[in-house]
Amino acid sequence: MAVVTPIYLDNHSTTRVDPRVVDAMVPYFSTYYGNAASRTHVFGRLAEEAVDTARGQLAKAIGARTDKEIVLTSGATESDNLAIKGAAHMYRGKGDHLITVCTEHKAVLDAHHALEQEGFRVTFLPVQPNGLVDLTLLQAAITDQTILISIMAVNNEIGVVQPLAEIGKICKERGVLFFCDAAQGVGKIAIDVEAMGIDLLAFTAHKMYGPKGVGALWVRRKNPRVRLEPLFHGGGHERGLRSGTLAVPLIVAFGKAAGLATAEFAEETARIGALRQRLWDGLRANLAHIELNGDAVARAPGNLNVSFAYVEGESLLMGISDIAVSSGSACTSASLEPSYVLKALGVHDEMAHTSIRFGIGRFNTAEEIDYTVARVTEVVNRLREMSPLWEMVQEGIDLSTVNWTGH
């Protein structure tokens, strides 16, 4: 079967909206267009019923006890901020210490930096070389002033899955709230907020084949009842935690996407995991001097983050321009800095600059994976042939012993 290019392998960045999700949401733009808060007429009641159905689908996807614990937001970034800042401000009388991890998403890190400016103390835990949190370090970091621990489910760059149940157990034993950014986790790995001892959980539609612009924050109501200070004030929507007219079509779509992810979870994760393995096996069979970044086992099924030695990442990206992937370098106006996540793993700058994140999703095929293996192999070999460093390696020279003197 002929492969149609360009191929989309950037599913951690965003996902294509599933056609079944589009079909579910379209009527709520033009037929059932009422405001879900307008309960005095049928248009509003139909909208409210659709939102309640979606809430139930979202709650089921994460193992929540009740759909009343779902707070609807504009996306994971807002959910992250509401959870972290809302909890910090609400429980400031109990303590001023927060714990998070240095490889978290920028939305989580920057929310903590903002709280530092307000006088909160934050511990940014390091990670082990495989990207996992050291639970002994986490235990040691907790004090009687610690009020919140924020650790993500799945890392957006390296796909590493943190030991959520173990973290939840530690938090429960010490009486500390546990917030989890699960934007990359829901629908990709098994998440059960009750079994895992999570108190607050953020997720979003566009990472799970739904539309952009809608997300949710799950807020525990029992054992303990979690209270937050709102970021927005207005009409008292969403139990007063998130005022604003609900985006009914987007919420319906989010619910549908969550329902599909729940129903098809076992089959989909197995299929995507097999495609990921096919990609990794193909690259290893064809190319030497490549390294997997992040734990090989505790990993979301669709993620493969690989460093290709003796190749510049940006050149590789340009060489495979018919395949949508992302680089391990964040391009800024002043410099090309390697990914802070890879640096936290101890990956050398040279290797971090050569890393590519492949994000495999629902709509990818085995033919696309085979095409990707062939294209990446071809371009890496071509770039290496142009590299004087590669020539030295081929001659058996250990580059770490070379004295690079300037003139």
| CATH number, position 90 | 3.40.640.10
Catalytic residue among 102, 171, 180, 331: 331
H helix runs in 15-75, sequence order: 19-25, 27-30, 42-62
Range of the domain at 88: 19-263
Same domain membership, residue 90 and residue 46: yes
Taking the C-alpha atoms of residue 95 and residue 176, their distance in angstroms, rounded to an integer, is 10
Same domain, 123 and 236: yes
Return the axis-axis angle of helices 265-286 and 366-385, rounded to nearest 10°.
30
Name the strand (E) or helix (H) holding 112: helix 106-117
Same domain, 149 and 289: no
Based on the fold, state whether residues 32 and 162 are members of the same structural domain: yes
Q: Does residue 142 share a domain with residue 35? A: yes
Reading the chain (407 residues) residue by residue, the pLDDT tens digits are: 789 999 999 999 999 999 999 999 999 999 999 999 999 999 999 999 999 999 999 999 999 999 999 999 999 999 999 999 999 999 999 999 999 999 999 999 999 999 999 999 999 999 999 999 999 999 999 999 999 999 999 999 999 999 999 999 999 999 999 999 999 999 999 999 999 999 999 999 999 999 999 999 999 999 999 999 999 999 889 888 999 999 999 999 999 999 999 999 999 999 999 999 999 999 999 999 999 999 999 999 999 999 999 998 889 999 999 999 998 655 443 456 889 999 999 999 989 999 999 999 999 999 999 999 999 999 999 999 998 888 888 888 887 777 766 55
Residues 6+ apart with CB under 8 A from 156: 12, 105, 183, 184
In a domain, 12, yes or no: no
147 plus 289 within the same structural domain: no
| CA gap 330, 316 in Å, rounded | 15
Q: Is residue 9 part of a domain?
A: no
End-of-domain residue from the set 234, 263, 292: 263
**Helix, strand, coil shares of the chain as percentages rounded to 5?**
40, 15, 40
Same domain flag for 27 and 48: yes
pLDDT for the residue 328: 67
Cα–Cα dist 257/265, whole Å: 12
**151 and 205 together in one domain:** yes
pTM for the model stands at 0.96
- Per the structure block, which two tokens stand in for 107? 């939305």
- Within a domain: residue 52? yes
Mark which of 216, 232, 263 sits at the end of a domain: 263
Q: Is 14 part of a structural domain of the chain?
A: no
Residue pair 239/226 in contact (Cβ under 8 Å)? The answer is no
CATH of the domain at 371: 3.90.1150.10
Residue 183 shares a structural domain with residue 289: no
Phi/psi of residue 173, nearest 5 degrees: -60, -30
Q: Under 8 Å CB-to-CB from 176, ≥6 apart: which residues?
A: 99, 142, 146, 147, 148, 149
Q: Where are the beta strands (DSSP E) in 297-351?
A: 303-308, 323-324, 326-327, 329-331, 336-338
Q: Which residue has 């012993």 as its token pair?
A: 401
Give the position of tokens 């929540």: 64
Q: What are phi and psi of 387, to 5 degrees?
A: -95, 125
State how far the Cα of 123 lies from the Cα of 112, in Å rounded to an integer. 9
Amino acid at 273: G
DSSP 212-234: TT-EEEEE--SSSPP----S--S
- Residue 366: the pLDDT is 98
Q: Which residues contact 102 (CB under 8 A, 6 or more apart)?
A: 109, 124, 125, 126, 127, 340, 344
C-alpha to C-alpha distance for 6 and 4, rounded to whole angstroms: 6
Q: Are residues 272 and 259 in the same domain?
A: no
Number of folded domains in the chain? Answer: 2
What's the CA gap between 320 and 307, in Å, rounded?
A: 15
User: For this structure, is 331 an active site residue?
Assistant: yes
Q: At what angle do helices 76-90 and 106-117 cross, to 10 degrees?
A: 30
Q: Is residue 403 part of a domain?
A: no
Within-domain flag for 7? no
Q: Are residues 258 and 290 in the same domain?
A: no
Looking at the DSSP assignment, which residues form a beta bridge with residue 355? 307
Is there a contact between 310 and 384 (Cβ–Cβ < 8 Å)? yes
DSSP states along 42-57: HHHHHHHHHHHHHHHH
Are residues 43 and 122 located together in one domain of the fold?
yes
Q: Which of 263, 279, 295 is the last residue of a domain?
A: 263
Q: Is residue 405 part of a domain?
A: no
- Model pLDDT, residue 334: 47
Residue 57 lies in a domain: yes
Question: Rounded distance, CA 244 to CA 372, Å?
Answer: 44
